[in-house]
């Protein structure tokens, strides 16, 4: 199902015919956990402002997400152009270009040709955040709910 298929539909309309009450309950529990998790993440970004890199990348959702793109580039040993990042994130090339200028000046990214990837300081900051995120209570509970949903789907497919 592509993302447009989810617009304006209820959970019951999205779930396949024959879904059980258990499935609907699990998806609603997952939605609740997502809400709790996103609230906790939002609050943490507001309060995790101890370093210059945290203040910069936690200041906007775009900067925060762009950090992930740059770290993925680092892990993949690849570089993304301003146009590629702008298209991927639905942002203008102008704003991505300004962010890259800021990050180059701070030494948080490297440039090769027209492409960019994160430096070690940004990778370390995202890895510390990943540990924080993994430790969230809602994240741990969500893992259990998603594992249960997947198991239920496998069982149902094997019964068919």
> How close are the terminal C-alpha atoms of the chain, in Å?
21
Domain ranges of the chain: 20-153
Over residues 61-84, mean pLDDT = 97
Q: Give the per-residue pLDDT at 129.
A: 85
Over residues 49-63, mean pLDDT = 89
Q: What is 20-153's CATH number, 1.10.1740.10, 1.10.10.10, 3.40.50.300, 3.20.20.70?
A: 1.10.10.10
- Rounded Cα distance between 106 and 36, Å, is 34
DSSP 59-79: S-HHHHHHHHHHHHHHHHT--
Range of weakest confidence among 6-15, 56-65, 149-158: 6-15
Q: pTM for this structure? A: 0.71
Per-residue pLDDT tens digits for 1-33: 445 555 666 665 655 555 678 888 888 888 888
Over residues 146-160, mean pLDDT = 81
Q: For residue 78, name the pLDDT band (cuts at 50, 70, 90).
A: very high
- Rounded Cα distance between 22 and 76, Å, is 39
Q: What percent of the chain has pLDDT over 90?
A: 44
Q: Give the per-residue pLDDT at 117.
A: 97
């Amino acid at each position: 199902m592509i993302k447009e298929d989810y617009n304006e539909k209820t959970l019951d309309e999205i779930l396949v015919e024959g879904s059980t009450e258990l499935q609907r309950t699990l998806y609603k529990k997952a939605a609740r956990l997502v809400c709790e998790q996103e609230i906790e993440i939002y609050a943490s970004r507001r309060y995790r402002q101890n370093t210059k890199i945290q203040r910069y990348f936690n200041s906007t959702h775009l900067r925060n997400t762009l950090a992930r793109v740059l770290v993925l580039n680092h892990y993949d040993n690849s570089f993304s152009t301003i146009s590629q990042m702008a298209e991927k994130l639905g942002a203008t090339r102008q704003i991505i270009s300004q962010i890259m200028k800021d990050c180059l000046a701070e030494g948080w990214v490297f440039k090769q040709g027209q492409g960019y990837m994160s430096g070690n300081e940004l990778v370390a900051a995202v890895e510390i955040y990943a540990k924080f995120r993994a430790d969230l209570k809602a994240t741990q509970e969500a893992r259990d709910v998603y594992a249960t949903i997947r198991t239920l789907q496998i069982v149902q497919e094997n019964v068919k």
